[in-house]
Amino acid sequence: MKAIFIVYDQARGEEVAEMLERLGQRGFTRWTDIAGRGSADGIPHFGNHAWPAMNDAILTFVEDGLAAPVLEEVRRMSGEARDLGLRAFVWDVCDAF
């Protein structure tokens, strides 16, 4: 099993959830109104006057075989609108209840 943490501009919220649904992944947890800035070239999302945008994030746990298709879709979506700062991080899950 893999954990996938996806961070994205709030403007893409429904698009990210629909992508997971399309791939057959039903479960996830979403956080809203998250401030941050990408490590390399990301535009700040601070929710203030100078940088008004905010991020959301989703954490989902998938079977091993679904991790690559999710990452492929995240890469495709990111390439369509690089300014919206879509990123995904994957790690192994050792145990679950």
CA atoms within 13 A on the CB side of 1: 10
Looking at residue 1, its pLDDT comes to: 96
Would you say 56 and 47 are in contact if contact means Cβ atoms under 8 Å apart?
no
Q: Which of residues 97 and 84 earns the better pLDDT score?
A: 97
Collapsing DSSP to helix, strand or coil, 42 comes out as coil
Per-residue model confidence as pLDDT tens digits over 23-74 = 999 999 999 999 988 877 778 889 899 999 899 999 999 999 999 999 999 9
pLDDT at 4 over 90: yes
Helix (H) or strand (E) holding 76: helix 64-80
Q: CA 66, 67, 68 angle in degrees (round to 5)? A: 95
| Structure token digits, residue 37 | 């800035």
Distance separating alpha carbons of residues 36 and 59, to the nearest angstrom? 17
Looking at residue 48, its pLDDT comes to: 93
pLDDT at 96 over 90: no
Q: What is the pTM of this model?
A: 0.91
The CATH architecture to which 2-92 belongs is: 2-Layer Sandwich (3.30)
**How much is the average pLDDT of 89-93?**
97
Distance separating alpha carbons of residues 27 and 32, to the nearest angstrom? 16
